[in-house]
Amino acid sequence: MTVHRVLAGRPQAVHPTALQLSWRAAGIDPRDVEFSIEKSGSPGVAALHVQRLADEARLITTLPEPIMALVRPLGGGTFPDGCRIDLQLSTRGGPATDEFVIPSVDISGTGVTTLFELAPEAGVWTLSVPLVEGRNLALPTPGTPGPLPAVDIDSLPKIAKSAAYRVRELAGPTGQLPPELRAEIQVAVDRSASMLPHARSGARATLLELIVGVNAEVGVASDIPVWQLGRSVELVPTPLSHISNSAYDALLGDVPQTTGTLLAPLLDATAANNERRVVFVITDGAPGDLDDLGPVLDAAQQQGTSTRWHVLAFARSVGDPAVARDPWKDELAVLRPLSSPVFSFSSVTPGSGQDWLAQTLNDSAAGRSAMRQLISGLGLMRGVAR
């Protein structure tokens, strides 16, 4: 027997003979997984010449047309966190037995996932595993463009992993953001004295970890440039990533570098015209140069910037019950006139106690809902058909 490991984006030739398929679910009861083999390009239409051998086994006897194997949660919705599918195919009746092993597929947060496609081509069958940019671990073929540097979901810390799954849920049934909506993610961290409580409580570190998870599903690079924001703007030499995340908040420290925060210098430093970019500003209120921002943002739009800036503030604003009762308590209301295709904002109501934000976003139904709401407020899914 010859064993072949089928990598995403690397089509594999298969001898045109019967194939026995076996699959196994982890993190979920297999009875809660709807496994189907359908005609390619025709979701819901069963493929011909496929026999059911057992709940987790099929026999593909012949291949008159391209087919695809898919999994969906039984009853609809999305798969819960920590779900994987392992799958292999073995030839039957050929000159030799070949086994094709497809690496474990993380289906968490998706409503439908295509595991592989099989097509008859020029005397062979071609087996392909879809390449999901930023999610697959396949290496690029030499001389050709390759996928985003891989971030194995299992390598992400707890908050980041949950954030990645919530992005998948928000992105639609396949859990994939269209390539044209992916962006370079950058972060700017307010280093003023008023941010000290959020640094010392761990809330700042939690937001950084969340952004690492968001980047794993939305970004175009595994490293995230970070800017220190105060009276001026300065790039931190070490980027944020799933590798540096655990020590990153300590790298920033909690010593304030300024008594005020200006945003206009960051806009000048991060504006781009030739690549889609989103810059998250972690702060605790409106910047000190509010009057200067309108003209700067107008100029950026007139110049055709492809950058969007999003202020994510520890502040009371829309969605806070206190603001719903008394609108005058909205601490970010002054930013509303600046809202545009290139500028947006959202808030996290400050809590109390150590690690209050991590506890708010914990692994529970309420925590996942809070995480989903927070990420939805970032506006990353603009343009995604729901």
DSSP string, 106-142: E-TT-S-EEEEEEEEETTEEEEE----TTT--PPPPT
Q: What pLDDT sits at residue 66? A: 96
Q: Are 317 and 333 in contact (CB under 8 A)?
A: yes
Q: What pLDDT sits at residue 147? A: 41
pTM, to two decimals: 0.88
Enter the CATH code of domain 153-376: 3.40.50.410
Consecutive 10-residue runs of the chain (386 residues): their mean pLDDT? 90 94 96 96 91 95 96 94 95 84 92 95 92 53 42 84 95 87 94 92 96 94 93 92 88 78 93 92 93 93 94 93 92 95 95 95 93 93 58
Q: What does the domain layout of the chain look like in residue ranges? A: 2-128, 153-376
DSSP conformational letter for 240: B
Name the token pair of 13: 């030739």
Residue 200 backbone phi and psi in degrees, to 5: -75, -25
Q: What pLDDT sits at residue 59? A: 96
- In the block, tokens 């798969």 appear at 79
Name the token pair of 142: 């030499």
Q: What pLDDT sits at residue 178? A: 84
